[in-house]
Amino acid sequence: MIIRCKAPLRLGLAGGGTDVSPYSDIYGGAILNATINMYAYATIEPATDGKIVFEFPDRGVRESFVQSDFIEPQGVFLLQKGIYNRIVKNFTHRPLSFKLSTFMDAPSGSGLGTSSTLVVAILGAFTEWLKLPLGEYDIARLAYQIEREDLQMAGGKQDQYAATFGGFNFMEFYQDKVIVNPLRVRQSYADELAHNLVLYYTETSRLSAKIIEMQSRNVKEQNQQSLDAMHKVKEQAIMMKEVLLRGDIDNIGKILDFGWHYKKMMALNITNPLLDGIYTAAIQAGATGGKVSGAGGGGFMFFYCPNLTRYAVIDALKSFGGKAKRYEFVNEGVKSWATV
């Protein structure tokens, strides 16, 4: 038997960063995101040889262990080890033997929620294999706990829920709960948005943890400029929800530009000269707004390009060494299946 699972990556359209503690704990956060047809994949092959194998087949990286109740969570397979330890602790209470292979359609650190989405995909595969009693909220919450509590990885909460639920969602974040509000966005609106929203990979990556840690510190220290900016970014999520549901798609560029103006004030290193240059070039070529996807510092950016300006924008960005990426929005979240 072979168990497979895939979970979609996401575009954070508005409100990014307000899902990060302690801001969300104190003030409540709000985010609007949407999943796209780029995925994290996990394959589990149960074994009887008493070994545990983790591998990235596309990178030729592999680690093997004698099965045990606990594997020290460190190294390149940090996430995989953390997930395995939780599965044993919470569910099986005994060691397992298997090979776990994982792959992603986007590089780590690209701003599309890759790490959290990979955790969701792996949890989905274990849920399918072991028939665990986990619903959507359970999987997302467990993914968050593994990353943020067990492995002490800095970050927010939106990615785990986006990958699990899929589609367009307006999410609310509080100290002890997350509310996922699925949006009934008309397909024609989603198609128009995908046509006009250019996704651009800067060919750079970043460590989001440092940016997120600084953002959290600004909240703890009551940095007023940073706090005011976060409040505005939260307002942006509400604005984005309203125009999406009404189909007022061409106003999305202005809302993205509004959010990007304030997001840059939330912490240092969210932007840099390269990203500023890319943003300026896109606007001059006809885009009406955009942002960096994820915490900032590098990775993917996206720009709203009304009418047919996408082609001029893509051409203008060629000189920066990155590339535009085709995609579509998808409504399905984490999905698992087994083959004999």
**Do the Cβ atoms of 20 and 215 come closer than 8 Å?**
yes
* In contact, 33 and 10? CB cutoff 8 Å: yes
Catalytic site includes residue 159:
yes
DSSP structure class, residue 205: -
**Separation of first and last alpha carbons in the chain:** 4
**Which residues are within 8 A (CB) of 66 and not within 5 positions of it... i.e. 6 or more apart?**
50, 51, 52
236: left (phi over 0), alpha (psi -120 to 50) or beta: alpha
**Helix, strand, coil % in the chain, rounded to nearest 5:** 40, 25, 35
Distance (Å) of CA 209 to CA 9, 178, 238, 294: 19, 21, 26, 11
Whether 119 contacts 143, CB under 8 Å: yes
Neighbours of 242 (CB within 10 A): 11
In the set 19, 105, 159, 257, the catalytic residue is 159
Q: Which residues does the annotation mark as catalytic? A: 159
